Amino acid sequence: MPEVLDVSGDGEFLEWELRVPRDLVYLRGHFTDRPIVAGVVLVHWAIGAIEAHRGAPLDIAALEAVKFHDFLFPEHVFRLRVRPGDRRWHYEFSREGRKIASGRIVEAPPGPTG
């Protein structure tokens, strides 16, 4: 997981300031000469941050509008910003004002009760 430097929120957004550890296990083999954080890892981090905030796992139905715009390298400090919605969690990773990745995590509707 990334190193958490700060956590904040303003009621509309949740925001984490994070750093990519130099020895991050996900960097192994991705790539030898210039390791980068894979896009799937960013989605995993967004899900993990939301679950930590909620204190419960997400029952994910879909990922929507997932886009990767730039790279994260070891030691990079970056931000994860999440806006909760009605079963949709919008997320965006950025670094130094540049978008790294974005998308939506869609929760499954509640199951039948009783």
Measured CA to CA, the distance from residue 60 to residue 43 in angstroms comes to 12
Structural domain for 74, as ranges: 3-107
**Residues in Cβ contact with 111 at an 8 Å cutoff, skipping those fewer than 6 apart:** none
Our count of domains for the chain comes to: 1
In a domain, 114, yes or no: no
In a domain, 112, yes or no: no
CATH at residue 12: 3.10.129.10
Tell me what pLDDT residue 103 has: 97
Mean pLDDT, contiguous 10-residue spans, the chain (114 residues): 91 93 83 87 94 90 96 95 91 96 93 62
Neighbours of 111 (CB within 10 A): 6
In a domain, 50, yes or no: yes
Tell me what pLDDT residue 39 has: 93
In a domain, 113, yes or no: no
Burial label for 42, CB within 10 Å (0-12, 13-18, 19+), is buried
In a domain, 97, yes or no: yes
- SS3 assignment, position 60: strand
Radius of gyration for the chain, computed over Cα atoms and rounded to the nearest angstrom: 15
In a domain, 91, yes or no: yes
pTM value is: 0.89
In a domain, 102, yes or no: yes
CA 109 to chain CA centroid, nearest Å: 22
Tell me what pLDDT residue 33 has: 82
In a domain, 53, yes or no: yes
Tell me what pLDDT residue 114 has: 45
